[in-house]
Amino acid sequence: MKLYYAPGACSIGIHVLMEEIGKPYEARKLSIPAGDTRSPEFTALNPKGKVPVLQRDDGSVLTEFPAIATWLARTNPDLKLLPSDAEGEARALEVMDYVVATVHMQGFSRMFRPGNFAPSEADHEAVKARGREIFEGGLAVLDKRLAGKDWIGGAFSVADAALFYVEFWAAERMKLPLPGNRAAHYARMKARPSVQKVLADEGFAG
């Protein structure tokens, strides 16, 4: 398999899952600023022009964080990366969807790509402010979900990999203090060998 990722992008969560699984794969690093995700070679794989992208051994391609994470979990059931019961699965997917669709796409994206939400530069600061409000509000919601837990579903799952990437953005890219439960979760994630390897491979170790 081949994982196409950009250092520090949301694909870092899928990168962690690939290491957790421990099966051979090839990691293809792309530079978003250099335009790699808009190249003809990459858009032939993913016309949406974004990471993560997983090219499977049969040549077929999966895109979008939740789809890739769910497929990896279901094709490696022994690792229990997604709860097997309906309630546990629904709760894990609930968190993953909230991270991707709200905290990331509605919050973080407003802060770092305000032009996608308002064509007039005069409105960009207001867009950024609203994005920060959504992002920090999302962290607070997820902090409550972690109360009394080491992992979002009781055991490490794909939901924790999704949580990790927004924690990483908050702590490392934005230098925001994480709420208490989120700070503890982020520390537990950073202690996992899979995360340590991914951070080193993506250039964030040390």
Boundary-marking domain end, from 17, 52, 79: 79
Measured CA to CA, the distance from residue 150 to residue 155 in angstroms comes to: 8
Q: Pairing relation of β-strands 26-29 and 2-5?
A: parallel
Collapsing DSSP to helix, strand or coil, 186 comes out as helix
Residues 54 and 90 in one domain: no
Question: 205 falls in which pLDDT band (50, 70, 90)?
Answer: confident
pLDDT of residue 6: 98
Mean pLDDT across the stretch 175-203? 95
Instruction: Please enumerate in sequence order all residues whose Cβ is within 8 A of that of 172, keeping only pairs 6 or more positions apart, or say none.
Output: 8, 204
Residues 9 and 73 in one domain: yes
Identify the residue whose tokens are 């409105």: 123
> Each residue of 24-53: pLDDT tens digit?
999 999 999 999 999 999 999 999 999 999
- The answer to the question of residue 136 being in a domain is yes
Residues 118 and 167 in one domain: yes
Residue 206 scores a pLDDT above 60: no
Range with the poorest average pLDDT among 62-71, 162-171, 175-184: 175-184
Residues 111 and 131 in one domain: yes
Its domain, for residue 59, covers: 2-79
- The pTM of the full predicted model, rounded to 2 decimals, is 0.96
Residues 115 and 176 in one domain: yes
Residues 30 and 90 in one domain: no
